[in-house]
Structure formats: C-alpha cells, structure tokens
Amino acid sequence: MADYIIGDLVRVYADFTDIDGTLTDPTEINLSILYPDGTEVIVTYAGGEIIRSGVGMYYYDIDLTLAGIYKTYWWSEGPAQGAGHDVFHVTTEYPAT
C-alpha cells in the first residue's frame, strides 16, 4: 500500500487490453473512489472526467483532502472489458525517516 500526505495529488492509472493482451479502448470506463469518510464518488470517461492518454490507457487525478484509507476500483465494458482496484493510505504528515 502506497503512502501519501494530505494535499498530494495522486494520479491513478488503468490500462485496458483485449483478450489477446493488445491495448484497446473500451466502450465504457468507470472509476469508483471510496474516501476515508465513506463517501463514494464515481467518475466516467463519458462524463469527461477520466483522461485518455493513449489507446487503452487512462488516468484520473485524485486530490487528497482527508487522512485515512482510499480505495479505487476501475471497470470497463466492451472489447476491453475488465476491472481492477488499488488501495492507498493518506496521513497528515510524512513519516519520520
């Protein structure tokens, strides 16, 4: 699990491939973000919130405003149907080294 600090901007990525492993654009892309306070926000490519950086490659930037555990879940439909998730921790200060 990655660690970040409040105020960071985290870029989450998703790559979508067809059954043969070739990067392919899905027909629909969604991202669910579960914030530490239990709030869930769903963003979509169709809504213009998710950015396409190349064929089959997408990202979204999350502004970290709360401390705690964030969970993200991508899913897609169409020729590159798939799903994936990530979890990261946000703290109020960087850990001592």
Torsions phi, psi for 51 (to 5 deg) = -105, 135
Q: What is the pLDDT of residue 97?
A: 57
User: How confident is the prediction for the chain on average, in pLDDT?
Assistant: 93
> Which pLDDT value is given to residue 59?
98
Query: Could you tell me which residues come within 8 angstroms of residue 39 by beta carbon, excluding any fewer than 6 positions away?
Result: none
pTM: 0.90
Q: What is the CATH number assigned to the segment(s) 2-91?
A: 2.60.40.10
For the chain, the domains span: 2-91
Which of the four pLDDT bands, split at 50, 70 and 90, describes residue 94?
Answer: low
Higher-confidence residue of 66 and 2: namely 66
Report helix, strand or coil for 21.
coil
Do 9 and 64 form a contact (C-beta atoms < 8 A)?
yes
pLDDT tens figures, 42-76: 999 999 999 999 999 999 999 999 999 999 999 99
% of the chain beyond a pLDDT of 90: 87
Closest alpha carbon to 13 in 56, 57, 55: 57
Token pair 């979508």 is found at 16
Task: Give whole-number Cα distances, 86 to 16, 20, 39, 64, in Å.
Answer: 15, 24, 16, 15
